[in-house]
Structure 1
Amino acid sequence: MGYPWKNLSPKDGFLVKQNALLSDIDQKILTFLYQPLIGTAAYSLYMTLWTEIEEEKYWSEGILHSELLTVLNIGIPELYQARIKLEAIGLLKTYVQTDTTKLTIYELQAPQTSEVFFKDDLLSLLLLERVGERKFKNLRKRFIVEKIDKQKFQEITKSFLDVFQFDAELLKREKELLKEPVSYIGKTANSNPKVDPKTFDLKFFYSGLNQQYINRSSITKEIEETILVLHTLYGLDELTMQQFILNASDIETGTIDEKKLKKLVYDDYHNKNQQNISLKDVVEKDIQIDVNQQKTRENDLMKKGLTKEDIAVIEVSEQISPYDFMNSIKEQKGGFVTKPEEWTLEEIVKKANLPTAVINILIHYILVVKNNPTLDQKLAYKIANDWAQEKVVAPEEAIQKVKKMYLENAEKKQQQENRNKTYTQNRSKGNYNNQTTIRKETLPDWAKAENNQMEEKPMSEEEKQAFMERLKRIQNFGKEGE
C-alpha cells in the first residue's frame, strides 16, 4: 500500500508565503473557532509556518522539513496529516515544484471572519458538535459586537468629496499605471470547505417535495448547501430530509426556516444518540496501518536474528537516497563526501541494478562496520557485483551478507594469527626443515580486497549510540536537534 507521506523527506526544502497579514482578531478566530476543528497539531503547524515569515515580509527563507519536524515534535506522517487538515478547512494551499529539485510552497490563507464562520453551515455545525451547545454560545458571544442604536444617534460622517478635491485629468493620464497587474498584500478571497456528496440524490429529493406544499423557489442555493451539509454530517437520506424540510416550513407560504431546519436535525440526532458526531480522519487509519505493518516487519526481522540496531539501519536505508545516506554518515563522523565517492556511488546506482536500500547497506558496511574514512571504489564495486550476481534484493538480506562477511573475516584473521604464531614458535626452535607448509586460503576477489583494508574495528558503545541517534534523526524517529 502506498502512503502519500512517504514522498516527503526531512531533507526536502520548503518556503512559506502569506497573502494577508494576520491581525489579533485573526489569531483569536484561529484559536477559539478553528483549533477545535483541526486539532492542536494542525493549529501548531499553521502558527509555526506563520512565524517563519519575518515582519513586513511575505515570503520566508528556505527551510528544511527536518527543522519543522523538530519544532513541532512530530513525525512525517503526522506532519502530512496536519497539513491536509489545514488544506481541507481552507487555511492552506500547497504547491510542489515539478522539476528535479524537490521544493514545496505553503501558502497561508487567512481565516474566515467570525461573521462568515458562524454563518457557514459546515463550519458552525462542526464547531457545535465539537464543543457542545453551551460552549458554542459562549464562543459566538465572544465575537458579537453590540450595534449602534441609530434611533438615538445621528450620523454626521463626511464623505470623501466633502473633504478632498483631486484632478480628474491627472487620474485619466495615470490610468494605465494604476492598472498594472501586481499582487498586493491584504485580505484575499477566502475558501470555505465544501461538501459535494454523491450519495445524496437531489433529483429524487426534489421529486418527493413536488407533491407537497413546499414552494420550490424557497429552496435557495444556500438552503440546498445546508441540506447537503446536514446529509454529510448526520447521514440523513432523501426521504428523511424531505420530512425535516416539511417540519421546518411554513404551511401557508411554503417557505423554509433554515435555522429551524438545522435545530430540528441537531435535536433529533442528539435525542437518539448520547454522543456528538465525530469526523473520521482518512489519514489516521492509514497511519495506524503503517505503524502496525512496521511493527510486524520489525518482529519478523528480529525472528531472523537481526538486532534493534540492524533494524534501525534497515528502516533508514529504505527511506532516503544513497547519497543522502552516505552524506549523513560522513557528517556524523565529521567528514565530507568527495567527488570520487560521488562518481563511485553513481556508477553503482546505474550499473549494479540493486535496490536503494541494499546500496545503503553496502555504504553502511564500508563506512561504519569497517570504519573506513572513504567509500573505497575497488571494494564497493566488488561487493556490489557480488550482491548483484547473487540477486540480493532486500536490505535484510544485505545485512545478513554483511554479518557473514564480518564473521568470515574474523575467522580468517584468527587463522592467520594462529599460523603466524606457529611459524614464530617453529622458527624459534630451529625446526625449519620439519616445518609444515602453511596453505594459503583461496578467497574471492572482493574478500581479498577486503582483507587489504584497515583492520575490522567494531564501533564502541559511544560511537554506536551516536550513530543510532543520527539514524533516528534522519528517519525522524527522534527529533533532530543538537
Structure 2
Amino acid sequence: MEEYKYKVLMKNDFEAIDEKALIYLYQPIIGLKSLSVYKFMIQESFIMKQYKNINFDFSRILKILSIKYEALEKCLKFLEAMGLVQRLSNKIKKNVIVFNIFRPLDPIEFFENTIFNSALRKKIGFEDYEIARLIFSDETNAFSIDEGFTDNTTRFYDVFSYLLDSKPSLDSSINFSIKLRKSSPLLNGFDENIILKTLKEKNIDIDVKNHEQINILKNVYSYIQIDNVELANLLVDAYDNKNKCFDKEKIQILTSKFIVKTSNKPSNFVNNTSPIDIKLNQMNSLTPELYISCLMKKEFDDNQYNELIGKLRNNYVLPDPVINCILDFSYIRDNKNIIIGNVLVIAEKITRKNILTSFDTMKFLKEGKF
C-alpha cells in the first residue's frame, strides 16, 4: 500500500436532486460501497474547507470506512469513471493526492449521456430503467487543475466497458438539448473550438450550432479523453462528407482500435501499470467481434465466428470481457487459430464455475483447470 496524504476539495455545490440521482442513477452502476466512499469524501471536503491547510493520512479512510486498500482503490476508480471524483498528483509533492469532488450530473444530463444511459439500462434491466426515467420525468422536463498537478483519473471504459452494448450507439435516446456542466471532469480539457478548427483543416466543416454533431464529439471525448487535436484526427475517417455527419459505426470501430493501441502503452493511472492490468484493459474495452478482427489482423466478416460469439453471449450468457479472454487463450494455444469446438469446451467449464469477470477468467485459464 502506498503511504500518502490526501486533500479533498468540493468543486461545486450540491442541490436537492443530487441525492435522488445518486441513489437511482449512480448507485446501480458503482455499487453501495463506492457510494459510501463518495459521501465520506464529501464530508471530508467540509472539514478541509474549515481547516484549509490540513492534509490527512490515507490510512484514515481505511480505518473510518473499515475497508481494505484494494477495495478502496476499486471504489475510487468507479467514482472517477463516473465523473464524481478526480484524482490529481503533484510531481513535487509526490506524497500528496488531491481528490476533487463533483456533484452528479442532473438527470437530463445523465440520460443524455449515451454511455451512462446505456450502462444503467444494461445494469438494472428495461423495466427498472423505465421506472428510473419516470422518477425523474418532472425534473428533466424542468431543466431547459489545480496548477502543478497531473490528472490521474480513471476513464469510464477502463472499469465499466462490460456494461456497454456490444455495438453501442452514440445516438441519444432522448430528444433533449444537452447542456453538460462545464466543471464536470468528464469534459475536463474538452475544447470544441480546437477540435472544429483541426477538422476544418482536414476539409470537414462542422457548424458550432450543430448540437447533434457537437454532442457526438463530447460523447467520444468523455469515453476516451484524449487530446483535442488527437481526437479530431481520430474522427476524420469517421466523417461522412456526403451526408455531412459522423458515421457512428465507424466511430465505434475507430475508438475501439484506439483503445487497443493505447492499452499497450504504460498507463498514467495509479496502480494500473502492471502487465495484467494492461491486458485486462484490453479484454474489457473491445467487443468480441472487434477483438477477433485484431487477432486475425483483418475485418471481422466471418459468419461462423459471428455465430460463435452469439452462442457464447446467448447460450452461455458470458460477458464480452470473458468471451475475449477465451478467444485470446484459444488463439494462442491453437497456434493462432480460433477452433470453435475448443472454445465451447472452455466456455462450458467457465459457465459451470460461474466466472463472470475477465480477471477471474484469466486466472482460471492460467491455472489450466479444464
**TM-score band, normalised by the shorter chain?**
0.3 to 0.5
TM-score normalised to the size of structure 1? 0.35
Please tell me whether Structure 1 or Structure 2 has the larger radius of gyration of its CA atoms. Answer: 1
